[in-house]
Amino acid sequence: MRKLQITLLLLLGLNSKLFSQEAGENRLQKSEIEQIFLTHNLNLMAQRFHMQQAEAAVLQQKLWPNPTISISEVNLWKNSSSESLPALIGNYGKYQQVSVELEQTIEMAGKRKKRVQLQLLEKENAQLQFQELLRNMKYDLRSQCLELQILQEKEKLYGNQVNIFQTLAQSYQNQWREGNVSEMDYLRIQSESIAFGNKLNEIQQEKIEKMNAVAQYLGNKGAALTIADTIDMPHFLQEKKQEWKMMALNNRSDYKIVQNEFKKSDAQLKIEKAERIPDLKVSINYDRGGNIMRDFVGLGVAMDLPLFNRNQGNIKIAKLELEKNKVEIEQFRIDIEREIDFLSARLTNLEASLKTMNTGFDHNLDVALERYVRNFQERRLTIVEFIDFINNYMENKESILERRIKYLQYKEELMYLIGKDIV
């Protein structure tokens, strides 16, 4: 039995070293992962092009409409009534008639300026959409990293148990063959070893899947990685619900998008009202040989008469859209404040649960495991007592991990709701 104890301790030490070596491969802090995400994520790169397109659209709206030139009344032949005119080139053109008109549209009531203002709001909307995409993707990435963290911890936890029971199973097999232990005890240890091995394999499969999920956010830098951050007792937040609500209303990009929609509706209403006033068309035309004057130059203006269509329908549509946006802003504000209230209650409840746990309880469990393993090796415990402790130990260790990671998840969700990182 002395030999069994030494072998077990050596394997436990070797297992710990192996895990340390594995963690050293592609080992990154979460802050480093996030920095790679910000500089290499292709979706963010694509969205930046959308913002540049919005800037180009502002430039387009600032341009004046092009003038229109028209050439007409050009004759290709002459008839008996043709009059002789001065030649255009050499002897050519004595009987050529031509009319040229240049027309420019002048938009009235500041329509162009109002469209530029609307397009500037569209540009702001593109920037807010980028911020919202970044906010959502950052939250998703952080959530995936937290889930990967707990899988790493569970892999380590179950890996230790696999090594313990594999060593015990090998020893019990030898002892059973020598007739020192019963076959029932040997099979019980063997079954526990297999059960922990199966669970470890499931965790490792989940871990690989989660590593892939994290890598998807890192563009061409996406690869298998290990998160270096540990899951310790979290830093508890001091409840500041009112302050959090104000921060959310000031920082949330999706709330700003709703507010920007209101501004866009207001700008659209101003455009629709301006459309009541018709545009002015100014023209200058030249006519050769088509009037009582051989070379006639004239000026002209044209304007629609707003007798029937004064854009009444579109103005009403714009007014209704504005009222709808007002309601949506208020509903969005209510939703934000309610979400923060409920999440704050969750954080408070989970914080109370974590505080009931002695800060050294996690360490004490590990010390107790070593003691129980030693007592079992020295035949001071029955196999039923030992396995019962192991099950209790695993249940407590997983519960500690899950509660800590849940608090961190709630904290990330709070920062997502606020739209800003908080300490």
Reported as a single tens digit per residue, the pLDDT across 195-240 is: 999 999 999 999 999 999 999 999 888 888 899 998 888 888 988 9
Q: What percent of the chain has pLDDT over 70?
A: 93
Task: Supply the pLDDT for residue 5.
Answer: 43
Average pLDDT of the residues of the chain: 88
Least confidently predicted of 1-5, 149-153, 248-252: 1-5
Question: What pLDDT shows up at residue 25?
Answer: 56
Residue 22: pLDDT above 50? no
Look at residue 358 in the predicted model and tell me its pLDDT: 65
Tokens, residue 302: 């044209």
Tell me what the mean pLDDT of segment 25-47 comes to.
Answer: 90
Question: What does the pLDDT read at residue 131?
Answer: 95
User: For 25-35, b where at least 16 C-beta lie within 10 A, e where not — what string?
Assistant: eeebebeebbe
Per-residue model confidence (pLDDT) at position 82: 79
What is the per-residue DSSP string for 137-195? HHHHHHHHHHHHHHHHHHHHHHHHHHHHHHHHHHHHHHHHHTTSS-HHHHHHHHHHHHH
Averaged pLDDT for residues 381-398: 92
pLDDT score, position 92? 83
Percent residues over pLDDT 90 in the chain: 66
The residue type at 109: A
For residue range 104-162, list pLDDT tens digits in order. Answer: 999 999 999 999 999 999 999 999 999 999 999 999 999 999 999 999 999 999 999 99
User: Can you tell me the mean pLDDT for 304-319?
Assistant: 95
pLDDT for 14: 38
pLDDT-derived band of residue 20, with 50, 70 and 90 as boundaries? very low
The rounded distance, in Å, linking the Cα atoms of 172 and 144 is 41
Q: Which residues of 158-197 are buried (b: 16+ CB within 10 A; e: fewer)?
A: bbbbbbbbbbbbbbbeebbeeeebeeebbebbbebbeebb
Query: What percent of the chain is helix, strand and coil (3-state, nearest 5)?
Result: 70, 10, 20
pLDDT at residue 259, as a whole number: 97
Multiple choice CATH, 2-65+107-276+311-418, 3.90.1310.10, 1.20.20.10, 1.20.1600.10, 1.10.3720.10: 1.20.1600.10
Residue ranges with strand state E in 346-422:
none
Domain boundaries, the chain: 2-65+107-276+311-418
Instruction: Yes or no: say if 410 and 347 are a contact pair by the CB < 8 Å rule.
Output: yes
pLDDT digits (tens, 9 = 90+) for 338-379: 999 999 999 999 999 888 876 678 888 999 999 998 888 777
* pLDDT tens track for 68-103: 999 998 888 888 777 888 887 888 888 888 999 999
Q: Look at residue 155 in the predicted model and tell me its pLDDT.
A: 96
Mean pLDDT lowest for which of 57-71, 267-281, 299-313, 370-384? 370-384
Top pLDDT among 414 and 96 is at: 414
Is the model more confident about 46 or about 95?
A: 46
302 pLDDT higher than 70: yes
CA distance 157 to 164: 11
Given a contact cutoff of 8 angstroms between Cβ atoms, the answer to whether 133 and 51 are in contact is no
Burial 286-300 (b: 16+ CB within 10 A, else e): ebbbeeeeeeeeeee
The whole-model pTM stands at 0.83
